[in-house]
Chains A and B, each alone.
Chain A
């Protein structure tokens, strides 16, 4: 047995690939109701109704919108929860 070796010191090394956040993207689909999508954005991300509505309209008109940004693990949880609510969501590097 040996003592653990420190292999990565974040104060010395700045690994951009690890630190860079991830975007949660929601894509337009022709079936989900506008009111339902607004409700999901409020429910999952705590957005105020104005912001949730703005994002829903962006999805509707532009085909996609970034609904949240954060560390990969957090973004993966958001995508999972969006899939549970029937929304077409993906992850991409911010």
Chain B
């Protein structure tokens, strides 16, 4: 069964208790991004906006960092508030999609993932297994959002 299904203008959520428990840990994970210096997850989630212009990238970051942090805090609040629920509206689902994606990127960055070969290590690394599992959830939720939009 799909974890997320579009039905009558809403998205139905079918997650087990242990799945909800694992997802609740993502709030802590994402809250820790950038808390310690030289965090690869922070670099990945806040990339340079200009490839070869350090000054312009710094200026871009200065202008957008607060707004981006606030937007992510709001996503995390929505995610936490709706985690135990059975339904998501579109706005809530979009916050979930971003949280799942950010968590995948953060975990992968801290594991030093630089290419597609990480998928060969799913059996041996718990973190990478979680990245794959969160990808399964995110894919199902994106599919449900697309179906919801098509039905509207």
Chain A complexes with chain B: yes
Q: A residues near B, CB below 8 A?
A: 29-33, 35-36, 39, 43, 76, 79-80, 83-86, 88-92
Across the interface, do A83 and B47 meet the contact criterion of CB distance under 8 Å?
yes
Across the interface, do A79 and B139 meet the contact criterion of CB distance under 8 Å?
no
- Which residues of the other chain, A, contact B64 by a CB distance below 8 angstroms? 76, 80, 83
- Which residues of the other chain, B, contact A76 by a CB distance below 8 angstroms? 49, 60, 64
Interface SS, B side? helix
Question: Complex: how many Å from CA A83 to CA B50?
Answer: 13
- Which residues of the other chain, B, contact A31 by a CB distance below 8 angstroms? 104-105, 108, 113, 118, 131
Across the interface, do A85 and B98 meet the contact criterion of CB distance under 8 Å?
yes
B68 partner, pick from A30, A35, A83, A89, beta carbons under 8 A: A83
> Does chain A have a CB within 8 A of B123?
no
- Which residues of the other chain, B, contact A80 by a CB distance below 8 angstroms? 64, 67-68
Question: Complex: how many Å from CA A11 to CA B35?
Answer: 51
A89 partner, pick from B47, B71, B104, B116, beta carbons under 8 A: B47
Interface size class on chain B is: 35 or more
Interface SS, A side? mixed
* 11 new A-B contacts at CB < 8 Å, known A30-B118, A33-B138, A76-B64: A29-B105, A31-B131, A33-B135, A33-B142, A35-B143, A39-B145, A84-B98, A86-B101, A86-B105, A90-B48, A90-B51
Across the interface, do B146 and A39 meet the contact criterion of CB distance under 8 Å?
yes
Give the nearest-CB partner of A81 in chain B.
B71
Give the nearest-CB partner of B116 in chain A.
A30
Q: List 22 A-B contacts (CB under 8 A).
A: A30-B114, A30-B116, A31-B105, A31-B108, A32-B101, A32-B104, A33-B135, A33-B138, A33-B139, A35-B142, A36-B138, A76-B64, A80-B67, A80-B68, A84-B72, A85-B98, A88-B44, A90-B47, A90-B50, A91-B49, A91-B50, A92-B51
